[in-house]
Amino acid sequence: MKLLFITPGFVYPLVGGQSIRTHYFLKELHTLGAEITAITMLEPGSDGAFLEVMHETCAKVIPVPVDPDRPLSNLRKIMLKLSPTPTTMIRYFNRAFNQVVRDTLATQCFDALLCDQLHMASYCHRLKLPKILNTDDPLYIQLQREAAVCADRVKAVKLGWEGFKYRVYEKRMFGKFDAVLFVSASDRDLVQKDLGCRNIQIIPQGVDITEYHPSGPSIDRISDPFILLTGMMNYAPNAASAVYFVKEVLPLIRRQCPGVGCMIVGAYPTDEVKALAVENDQVVVTGFVDDVKPYLRAAAVYAAPAVSGTGIKNKVLQAMAMEKAIVATPLSMDGIPQAVDGEHILVRETPDELAAASIQLLHDESLRLRLGRNARQCIIDHYSWASIVGNLYHLLENLSRPSSR
């Protein structure tokens, strides 16, 4: 199969679910025999490390310089806010990139196109070949949920307006592709109900089970025991969950476990997340780390207290693969239906319930071990990248056959 892959690129070393997903899509599609031509953005400040990784899996890589954060006049900023098209979609559109896509199609033939992320859809939606949009999860739902829990009324209104724009934009774009990829069936069901889209396929997030395993080095503990939270901490749902856990749940845990510590591991922590370490004894905010696995191995309990967001939480899959005992809110487990409360994980909702489950895990080593073993087996059975991308490859094959066009 000759595949055209349109992508904004990814962060390397791998940070965040989108980067991990893009990398393993390319890696496993190449392993399955796809001949991939990738057209990728190269943003200012990037060291281009990801391009070397892409060359390992792609027959051809075409980088195009794009600056979505270019300075704008005040008038242009106002026009962007008033525009019915989401601001990010406008800022990521680049005429030179668009021309490279068209020149590539004029000189080569492809069996199918994989468009990676919603902000690449404007380059692909009019192209006359079988095409799939990988958008992970619906952004309008994410923004609606952020607005619902936002205490700042002005910010909540802005989030609501942006969410409305994404709802309109996503409905229009989703209909232009043969298939749209989500990671969560619950998100698919909401979008089918809200937008009437019937072309959504579930390709979940995965885990490299050879890399994420419980054996290996760990860090020196900040306390014994400690609870761990991970994720990109400039991503609003991750930052909100960290603040929620430390302010609402951790004090309840410490009433019975006064020595327990908390570690928040993830790149680009917001000022509000950084303040948690200043305001609380035995709370550590690390910022970026080269490897999260030693932190996972050292933690007694992994917490996933999401209060907003959509889709599968990649960090939860990683913790499950590492055999961690996990306490999570229902929203954190929304896209992982195979993980059963009490068998693989403890799912709780309120601060009191989350605290009680955390205390139970801290006190019961046999329960921690049982949940951890079951969690890893769940990942092996359902979330290895090889099987996940195998399903994507078959979908691309079926779409590219003449009888399916």
C-alpha–C-alpha distance, residues 262 and 284, integer Å: 6
Question: Looking at the predicted structure, is the pLDDT value of residue 377 above 70?
Answer: yes
Report the pLDDT value the prediction gives residue 387, as an integer from 0 to 100: 86
Task: Kindly report, residue by residue over 76-88, the tens digit of the pLDDT.
Answer: 888 888 899 999 9
Mean pLDDT lowest among 129-143, 148-162, 249-263, 391-405:
391-405
Question: Looking at the predicted structure, is the pLDDT value of residue 47 above 90?
Answer: no
Mean pLDDT lowest among 260-264, 282-286, 334-338:
334-338
Question: Looking at the predicted structure, is the pLDDT value of residue 405 above 60?
Answer: no
User: Taking residues 133-149, what's their average pLDDT?
Assistant: 90
Confidence of residue 255 (pLDDT cuts 50, 70, 90): very high
User: Edge-to-edge strands of the sheet including 301-304?
Assistant: 283-287, 261-265, 226-230, 301-304, 326-328, 346-347
CA distances to 84, 118, 211, 245, 300 from 159, in Å: 14, 18, 37, 23, 36
* DSSP labels, 170-234: HHHHHTTSSEEEES-HHHHHHHHHHH----EEE----B-TTTS-S-S--PPPSSSSEEEEES-TT
DSSP class of 103: H
C-alpha–C-alpha distance, residues 273 and 128, integer Å: 46
Q: Phi and psi (nearest 5°) for 198?
A: -115, 10
Task: Kindly report, residue by residue over 195-219, the tens digit of the pLDDT.
Answer: 999 999 999 989 999 999 999 999 9
C-alpha–C-alpha distance, residues 277 and 287, integer Å: 11
C-alpha–C-alpha distance, residues 153 and 127, integer Å: 41
In the chain, DSSP finds a helix count (H) and a strand count (E) of 16, 13
- For the chain, list the domains and their CATH numbers: 2-206+385-404 (3.40.50.2000), 226-382 (3.40.50.2000)
Whether 265 contacts 289, CB under 8 Å: yes
Confidence of residue 297 (pLDDT cuts 50, 70, 90): very high
pTM for this prediction? 0.80
